[in-house]
Structure 1
């Protein structure tokens, strides 16, 4: 059976290795492995979410809710928007991106991604015949190269993806820049990825009331501690949301994901605590890593930070291997377009795990 041409040309998306694989390959105990590679919440999910999942298990023989009104209202309240400005997706924020592509992309359209950034945008949109055009982040100044965005726009540009805080640099984009891009390009959808906005304590959600070409992506996989439940949501003007609901799968959220999400949003204390501990962990890691000679540590507004290691004598793959042998998982950023082989990314952990990582990291470098 012959696949579509674009499918034959694509490479499969390769996620990070599992803890089980690493434990087996390096003769480690799974429970001793410290994960700093996936930008997760290391303190676990909300206890209220776990209790709700336990109570709901008896109902998994029934189809889930299709309209999700109760959860939509919780998200709208959390985000400070109207119910009609919210769309919810399963498979994390990735389904939201996929529905955006199905709704607004035609074969031959172009979309802009400044490099380095989250590469799944490209992976999803190319499936629908869209062509990526690369702008760039200024790594010397640690900020978006705005002119590279404007220089990349053509008559075929349909979307611009702007991740803020950006993955993997941790950089925020100034709101005035976002406004300028949206205002000057009313026929282009400006997609602002706010997957990590809670850690930055900055949001651009108010812009959806002023610009009908701005779409904000969010996820429950970070601060909200539900990476394993795969829940994402989007915020935009009512017209965009209505179009997307025509395309979105009806039952993309399971019954367990629904109750987990609902009860997480209602657990205000858990959310506040997760943000507080995450920022404390980020600050500790930045302070300690900044004391180590040979590292270029990017300040971050997210739950991760980018580290240049060129002066250490290691490549990213070499350093990541030495660390994983000792039970520490970091992200080798060699696969990120726009970065060379001398960058790693680490994410927050508990302070106890942070301290162990710092000690092991120094040991490897020495």
Structure 2
């Protein structure tokens, strides 16, 4: 029998959401009628300019992709108000950026901090480098970071501190002064995950000038509508970026992803409309679900909303299944450390999809 690393043998596989094909087959639904509100995707779809760019570039897929990505770095730098040497691009969404952080900064036995509940893929990836999680707290009731818990978790073994803002799955923001407090308390790299920053109309790029231990992580998967193309990027001090490039695969971004990313950033009207649609949808969902007596919904600065459903008489698995039967996919948040079995998260949809979701949700919870 071949030998497997101990940590891999002990690691539970990451379980992604089920596909529309699987759900349609199990519940006898038409695929085109299923409403997907579980993955925080863009209900508007991609930029038409991105689709045209892919159609043109597909003729060249017999060639290797670009390695330097200078034109895309330039566009990202302009979009993010930084210099191109402060940009690194990943070819598996923000997940490859996390992978590169692990390769560059983690040694076995050293620690990274996550405030729970938050995005769990940080832990999933970094454990493969035999890194040790140190948990801080996100105060769900107040929907804010417990800053002191982060400071208390710092040690001489801390290499990375993850701060997700807006936080996934709660949708709350971390105040800039709190980020500065943490940056000034450690020489570890503080990773501010801004995957959803466009929906909040707030970012932390201005802090890069004064803090060399700040790393901002972003993605093309949300407001930019390219989740299927798998493009992520990071912003940091040029020396940090140079170190990470040493660990980065040379051809990690495909030709089609490269073309789609460039075209999207060069389509400001699409980005503006996409942002406005998601914010409008979010506020509509919040207002309407707030009217349902036995669901507690939390305000959000992202493109999803967290709901406490314990008063409905169902747990998250039960309600999620009942919604699936009706063709609505939401996220059962039981797998998020720091939450119990009574939380679901719903992404924004088109207003037509939102209305159908709310109608079905009301029917399900009022029948109990």
2:115 partner SS: strand
Contact 2:165 2:196 in 1 (8 A): yes
Q: Does 1:301 align with 2:298?
A: no
Q: Which stretches in structure 2 are left out of the alignment for 5+ residues? A: none
State the partner residue of 2:90: 89
1:266-293 CA distance string (max 9 Å, x none)? 0000000000011000000000000000
Correspondence 1:58-77 to 2 at 5 A? 58-77=59-78
State the partner residue of 1:224: 224
Distance in 2 separating the partners of 1:141 and 1:224 = 30
Alpha-carbon RMSD: 0.5
Question: Runs of 4+ in structure 1 displaced over 3 angstroms?
Answer: none
State the partner residue of 2:363: 363
State the partner residue of 1:112: 113
State the partner residue of 1:148: 149
Distance in 2 separating the partners of 1:350 and 1:141 = 29
Q: Which stretches in structure 1 are left out of the alignment for 5+ residues? A: none
Distance in 1 separating the partners of 2:152 and 2:181 = 14
1:170 partner SS: coil
Distance in 1 separating the partners of 2:68 and 2:263 = 17
Correspondence 1:40-79 to 2 at 5 A? 40-79=41-80
1:226-260 CA distance string (max 9 Å, x none)? 00000000000000000011110000000000000
1:100-131 CA distance string (max 9 Å, x none)? 11001111100110000000000000000100
State the partner residue of 1:268: 268
1:243 partner SS: helix
How many pairs are equivalent?
365
Distance in 1 separating the partners of 2:209 and 2:90 = 22
Contact 2:151 2:185 in 1 (8 A): no
Contact 2:295 2:307 in 1 (8 A): yes
Distance in 1 separating the partners of 2:64 and 2:156 = 44
For normalisation by structure 1, the TM-score amounts to 0.99
Q: CA deviation at 1:150?
A: 1.1
Correspondence 1:1-366 to 2 at 5 A? 1-185=2-186, 187-366=187-366
Distance in 2 separating the partners of 1:152 and 1:327 = 42
